[in-house]
Amino acid sequence: MAEKPRSLETLRKELDQLDQDLVGLLRRRAAIVQEVGRSKGRGGRGTSAAPGAAGGPGNGFILRPGREAEILRRLAQAEAAPLENGNLLRIFREVIGSLYGLQGRVRIAIQADGDRLGVWDVARNHFGASAQISWHNDPGAVIGAVCEVPNCVGLIPTPDDEGRVYWWRQLAATAGLVPKVIGGLPFYAIDGAALPRRPAWLMVGPGMPDPSGDDVSLVYVTVELEEMSRGRFIGMFADAGLTARMVTATAAVERGSDPAAGGPRDFLVEIDDFLPPDDPRIEAFRRRAGEAVSHVAVIGAYAVPLGAGPASG
């Protein structure tokens, strides 16, 4: 005989109990987050964090974008039907964002030269509804906020060859608090659509990022030669065991040089791997480049977005 359908009252009572169970689990998660915060205060940072990583000892910054990317990748592999995968990730992003407040409220500084509504959605979907957002007219102001405001992360459009504001050079400084790229957004699509491998927005925060297991690093290079082909430049990275792609580059005139005399140029390069500042492959690249390159600096990394396709040349 077919099982008798349960009454509406019975189903509602079961839902009420599940709600209470979920609240209990969230309270347990919040308690562990508080314990993690106390552990950071004692100098702990977890085994996956690179030296100087965001959230490491002496930093005070509470975000761990690499760790959070690991969590979302694991959840994306779970069977969530009939709940759509993107909605499941959005729920967990709200949980993660709401618990930031147990360690310190997160503030988001955004370069607002365009569609504010679009980036507002990106920020809210990632950091949660309780995040405080401020708007700024240029990347320098965003970087200034990251340096001056506790637990502040900046969102700046990813550079391309169309732009002529080379803010990323500021991240290669060596004196004082120097922010780095610690992530990229959006990391996932609520509707399940494919995302580009290079995110539209870069997250900038204090200290180096932490690895997520599938990352792209950003490297700033000053080339002294007046003439150097893209193939030769990328080939020197390949000789050092690194898969590199050009993101953008300055023109000589933008650095105050005489364009008629050539002069050094600054390049932003992305590398398919997580690179700590002292990665031996960076030193191998320096040796391979010789006098052609005068400056090399890892300025951060971001986790490859969920569902992103393979890299293109």
| Rounded to 5°, angle at Cα 40 from 38 and 46 | 120
The confidence score (pLDDT) of residue 18 equals 96
Show pLDDT as tens, one digit a residue, over the chain (313 residues). 567 888 999 999 999 999 999 999 999 999 998 888 787 665 444 444 444 555 443 446 788 999 999 999 999 988 777 888 888 999 999 999 888 877 777 899 999 877 788 899 999 999 988 889 999 999 999 999 999 998 899 999 999 877 778 899 999 987 667 899 999 999 999 887 889 999 999 999 988 899 999 999 999 999 987 777 888 899 999 999 999 999 998 864 444 444 444 567 899 999 999 999 899 999 999 999 999 999 999 999 999 999 887 776 5
Domains and CATH numbers, the chain: 63-209 (3.40.190.10), 216-303 (3.30.70.260)
Note the pTM of the prediction, 2 decimals.
0.87
User: Rounded to 10 degrees, what is the CA torsion of 192, 193, 199, 202?
Assistant: -40
Query: In angstroms, rounded to a whole number, what is the distance separating the alpha carbons of residues 295 and 222?
Result: 5
Angle between helices 85-99 and 8-41 (to 10 degrees): 50
Give how far Cα 298 sits from Cα of 23, 172, 173, 271, 289, Å.
42, 7, 11, 10, 16
Query: In angstroms, rounded to a whole number, what is the distance separating the alpha carbons of residues 37 and 55?
Result: 10
| Rounded to 5°, angle at Cα 141 from 135 and 144 | 120
The confidence score (pLDDT) of residue 309 equals 75
Q: Which residues on neighbouring strands pair with residue 204, listed in sequence order?
A: 154, 181
Query: In angstroms, rounded to a whole number, what is the distance separating the alpha carbons of residues 266 and 250?
Result: 5
The confidence score (pLDDT) of residue 60 equals 60
Instruction: Looking at 77-174, list the stretches that DSSP marks H as alpha helix, in order from N- to C-terminal side.
Output: 85-99, 116-127, 139-148
